[in-house]
Every structure is written in C-alpha cells, then in structure tokens.
Structure 1
C-alpha cells in the first residue's frame, strides 16, 4: 500500500502507457507515415499497390517516406530551441523537404508519380499542423519549481508552465520535471531527499541554469559552459560538414544573385558619391583578422562613433536604408563565404576597433571566435543589433548559446528566422 501511495504521489506526466503511445514520436512516425505516404498511394493505385512495385511506384513511395521522416526529425529537433514557434516553420520545412526529394529524382532521372508526391505534400502539411495544435494543448511542458535560491526568479512562458511547490512534495500532481537551484545552500535534507525520490521515480530534476538557457536562448558569460559532449570545442565533424555546405551553396547562389548585386551596385553609385562596396577589417575565425565585403549603405564623407546608431542614423543613404532593410547589403559576403572567412550562419564579425574594446570590457569575448563568423546568427534573429557594452553582453550570451548548441538543427532554425525577417521586415536593421 505504501509503495502504491508513493507511486501515485511521484508519477511523471504522460507516463501512462496510453499517453506515451498517443503522444510519443513512434505513434507520430508510424501512423503519420501511413497517412502521409499510404493514403495518397492508395488513392492513386488503390488496394494492393504494394504487391507490385515497379520503379515509378517504389521511387515515389521512397521519396515520400524520406521527406516525411526528414520533416518529423527536423521539426522535433528545432522544437528544443527557445523562440522556435514551430507553427511558423512547418510550411517551409515541408516545402524544402519535398523540393529536395523532387530535385534528387529529377537530377537522377528516376521515374516518379507527381500526383502521389503532391498528395503526400498536402497530407504532410495537414498532419504536422494537426500535430502542432494538439501538442500545444497537451504537450505544454509543466515543471515544478523548488522555491529556493535562484529558482524563484524563473518566469513562465507560452511553452512552459511553472508551479512553485509549497513543500517537498508533488501533492499528487504530475509534472514533466522539477527545477531546483542545486548549488544553493538553502537546500536542506528534506528537499534533497525529495529530489532523490523524484529521480528514483523517473521524474527529471533540472538545474536552474539548464531551464534559464532553454527559456532565454542565452548562456551566462561569467564562466564558459561546455556543450552536450562535455567539451568547450564545437563539433569538428559538423564544422567540416558545414563548411562544405557553405561552399556549395555560395557557388550555386552567386550566379543567381549576380544580377541583383549588379543592380544594387548601380543604385548605390547613382544615389550618392563613393564606391559601391564597403570593405572593413574585422575579427574572424580563431581571432584571425579578415576583410569583410558589404554594399555601402552610408555617405562616405560623414563620420560617426564606429558603429551604426540605429535606423535613424543620419549617415545612412536612401538606398542604404532600403538595402539594409532587405539585407541586400550583405550579399557581397558570399565572396567571404567562398574564401572560407565566413559562414552563412554564425556570430556576426565585429570591427577590429570594437573587438578590442569588447575584449577589454566583456569577459570571454574572444571565445565567440571558436566558430566561423556568419552573415546571420542566433543573436541577430533573437536580439537584433547591439553596439554598447551592455547590449553586447546580452548578444554574447546568445553567441555562447549558439556555440554550445552548434548543430545543423539550430542553423536550420536560424535560416528560417532570417528568411522571415527578410520577408516581413521584422527585426531588420
């Protein structure tokens, strides 16, 4: 009886078999595949389509299946990061996945059925939007907070519900986990035994720092923080893979964007005297200086404080204001990417003057150079522009978060957020 009562008092949320079945990823994978791949195939080829699979059918089914699995895995990984409003990224993720499989089929000259592929595309959109709205209702994370130390400063978000405990007991309420400041001296024997019991019943216990990072998307800079592999060094494998993707993407984009770059250069020359390009020495990968290329957006005969003073800066030209809003001023950095000095995604490179200033006043500033600087980055899509030291400290916390979670999935999320900024103008500078 005591064991049963203990289990009822310490039961993890969604731990019952039917909840785990309906809300877990295996259900979404298996049932989703039947809906997204099976229904369009059945509608086109009817019953028994799997008994005889000529290449045109097997290629189509394989393409639909790979696209679905890729979408599911990508959205689940991106959902881990703060600020990832998955509803805004479902359509782009689904579209990119199906475009990729169509491109592979096209260039390999394999046969496929357009009707089934398009039907699978529409079913994927419906399936993942349905999963999102159901997940928002039933999968919002609910955490119990031990009201001691820094844990009392936590604030709830639309994605995470926080409830402060009145004592060392869950009071038969089921939670996804427990948050505590494990480094505070206020934790007494009763709270320590309580946290141990939670762990024994498979209820995760999180340190306050983990939750703060997941809520804010920032890493405190009072000390360097290791990544999930227990190292301060980002994955060397992913650095090499990312460099290959950057090079191929830049070479493909360059001829496509060349007319836009030519038109932008002509507009700049007609709008104000001076060169079309702005070239500046900046601090780069591993602390090596390099010359960054941008389209000039300011008058050449006006001096400032060394950094842009917002959108109302009088030095910005008319054309400059437009190209900065649309991010066209960044296009020449494709050459920096090709040369290996920059990446598409990474911490923004700062001028040598500002870098030396920040190095003196901001702890661990040079650590941001452990990865290649980028045209866009986590700090840019989350915070925007920062120049003063206080703003730079916050920006550096975002950069540290990016380095700690350096991965393909975070880069995809940043790419989608950057495209959203370009299209809507929100956050542009």
Structure 2
C-alpha cells in the first residue's frame, strides 16, 4: 500500500508536468515555432501515460526485482496501443512529439519505480523465531531465483510493531484468548499483518506449499473471463506467427533429418488442462530410443544431438507446439506440460501437484523464465511453487511479463539442457 500510494503521487506529479508542458507548447504554437499537430499529439500521449501508470499499479504485487521489465512493458504497450489507434482511425500525429513523450514517460516511470518500489526495502516484523525460520525455508528453496531485498526486525512491543511495514503471523498457530487479544490490539493500531506464506509470495513470486486451502481454488475461479480472452489471443497470435514459423520449421526439420535417422517431429503424451492427456509435438533433439523411461534431461546429456543442442538452447524445438496451441491443448503462456509417468509420480509425492493443471499448459511459463530447467525432485517442488503462483495470479500483465522474459531466454539460451 505504501508503494502504491507513492507511485500514485508520482504519477499525478508527472501528469501535472505534462499539463504544464502542453501549456508551454501551446504558447510556442502561437508564435509559430511548433504546429497544432504537435500539441494534439502531446494530449493523446498523456492518455498513454495514464494507461502506463495504471498498468504499473496493477503489477505492484509482482516481486520488485522485475521492475525494469515491468516498466518497459507497461510504457511500450501503452504507446503501441496509441500508435495502433492512430493507424486504425487514420489520425494524423507528430512523430517527434510521440517519440519525445515515449522517452520521457519511460524515464519518469522507471525513476519513480526505482525510487519508490525497487529501492524501497520493506521491513517485516516478527515476534516468534519459528516464524522467521519458516519464511527462510520458503526463501531458500533449491533452484529458486533470489528474492526481493527485505529486512527483518524482532518485535517486542506494540510501539515497535507500528514502526514496521508489516508483521508476519503464523496462521497455523492454534488460537487462544491471549493471542487473539494481542492480534486485535495490533489490528486496531493499524498494524498490517500478513501470513508467512503471503510475504513469501511478495518477495519471491512463488506460492508457499505449507498451507494451501480452499481459498486457492476461489482465487482461481475469478479468472474465468480472462481464460476466454486469452484463448482468443492465443489463436490470433499463432496466425500472426505462422509466416515466420513455417519456413523456420522447414529449415529445422531438414537439419534434424540430415544429422540423424528418425522422424524430424517427436510426439509424446503429456498432461494438459484438468489432467487430460494430449500428444505434444516438438522437433526431435535426441537420438531415437522408444524404450527409454521418462526422466529429467541432464547437463551435457549424451542423448542430445549436435543440431539438438542448438535448437534446444534457443527453443526452436518447441515451434511445432504452435499447432498444440491452435488446437487448444496448450496456450502460449502457462505451466510447461509434463510426461504422464512423471505427473503420476509427482502427484503421489508432492502435495497439491495436480493444481498446476487448473490452467492450460504453455510454451513458456513463470517457472521457466524464473528458474529454468529442473533436474531433481527438490527443484521440481520449487518449480511447483512458481507454477501455482501463476495459477493463482494469472493475468494479462503477468503473461506479458513472461513473454518479455521469454524473449531474453530465446536470445541467451537461459535454462536449456
């Protein structure tokens, strides 16, 4: 809430500066230095600025370490939509004014986020050492990305509790009259209290598995209409990507066939939405061995061919899955689908594992861009915490953030095996 209120104040200050700039440009227009088209473009750019600020505020629940991606995404998306509106409505605009507005908005929003969100170190209070130990276990899971910067303070009095940003509370602790009275006193003193799992979500972008109840399913149910529009966007995106994907697929298929015997396209049964099995397509990157059991890929896996190493590094082997997206078995963004034997195994050994199937699996997901490939049972548990965070908080803002980070993966080969 402190971050949001400060960002709102920063956004309003920026809007005031835009208004002063428009008045200044209008005075210059009367002298003939600039045209009326320049002034009108600035006015429309103010609308894009407000949209960018609104997107930023909607994304404040995401870990602060994602700030650079969030700022660039919000501002660029707002101005791209404005530019598309100009093109569709055939509205004349000043390219110089639009470019200046975009750069100014990007710098202003980035500086505000850096000052009030990313560089703001929240202080979490705790009264019980076991509460702090519980949070440390959430933060230090195997294979997890580093959490946002934070600080802890041991609370001994009500006065100390009112000075921190939030007080961590273990909701698994049995209720008793003394504890209830203490918590009510803190609440009446305007002390913000969060469960250990909720603070873990804010710092890491992962859902704690220690306590997931029926409310998790309620959170998922809110995204019904989001799922409908996301499916429509998936279809449009595949159609738009087809002119690039088809010739690239021909080149990859030829390279696979020239290096080793066997089909260019590999088919494998995976688990999808609501636990239904489907046949996933991908370009073959390993030697053919139909009797090989389901297993994790290893670093420097000897089964991977030379062409396979290249297409796996840059995710070119995933191109045929655009067909899976078109048929509705997959989405562009979502938890990666797993093999049936592995899903059966993990469903027995990891609590809440089937919850990841509440949404369509995707070509790229929150776990992939945050963690990369997993190779152990412990890392799979960590991956599940990322997947369930996406299931709980899925939104267009989070999807766009994953898309931006996926581009980084495509360019760098991060997490490939």
Fold agreement, TM-score > 0.5: yes
After superposition, residues 243-254 of structure 1 pair within 5 angstroms as 243-254=231-242
**2:261 aligned residue:** 273
- Structure having the larger proportion of residues in helix: 2
Cα deviation 1:257-304 (Å, max 9, x = unaligned): 322222222222222222221111111112221111111111125864
Q: Distance in 2 between matches of 1:91 and 1:316?
A: 36
The alpha-carbon distance between structure 1 residues 226 and 331, as it changes in their structure 2 partners (threshold 3 A), is: farther
1:191-212 Cα offsets, whole Å, 9 max, x none, are 6544323321322111222112
Normalising by structure 1, report the TM-score. Answer: 0.83
The residue that corresponds to 1:7 in the other structure is none
2-structure distance, mates of 1:419, 1:141: 30
Aligned partner of 1:195 in structure 2 is: 183
Could you tell me which of 307, 322, 327 is aligned with 1:319? Answer: 307
Corresponding position of 2:164: 175
Question: In structure 1, how many angstroms separate the alpha carbons of the residues matched to 2:321 and 2:24?
Answer: 48
The corresponding residue for 2:245 is: 257
User: Does structure 1 conserve the Cα–Cα contact (< 8 Å) formed by 2:161 and 2:167?
Assistant: no
- CA separation of 1:292 and 1:46: change in aligned 2, threshold 3 A: farther
Question: Does 2:333 correspond to 1:345?
Answer: yes
Q: Structure 2 matches for 1:71-82, cutoff 5 A?
A: 71-82=52-63
Distance 2:47 2:267 in 1: 44
Normalized against structure 2, the TM-score is what?
0.85
Give the secondary structure class of the aligned counterpart of 1:298.
Answer: coil
Q: Does 148-157 or 68-77 show the bigger shift?
A: 148-157
In terms of mean alpha carbon deviation, does 372-381 or 254-263 score higher? 254-263
Query: Take 1:271 and 1:42, find their aligned partners in 2: how far apart are those partners?
Result: 66
Larger CA deviation: 380-389 vs 227-236: 227-236
Q: Does 1:377 align with 2:365?
A: yes
* Deviations, residues 230-271 of structure 1 (Å, cap 9, x unaligned): 445351111111111111111111113322222222222222
Matched, 1:28 2:28: no
Q: Secondary structure at the match of 2:269?
A: strand
Task: Confirm or deny: 8 A CA contact 1:84 1:413 kept in the other structure.
Answer: no
Which 10-residue stretch deviates more, 55-64 or 368-377? 55-64
Could you tell me how far apart the structure 2 residues matched to 1:174 and 1:228 are?
A: 31
**Partner SS for 1:293:** strand
Residue 408 of structure 2 is aligned to residue 427 of structure 1: no
Q: Which runs of 5+ in 1 are unaligned?
A: 1-12
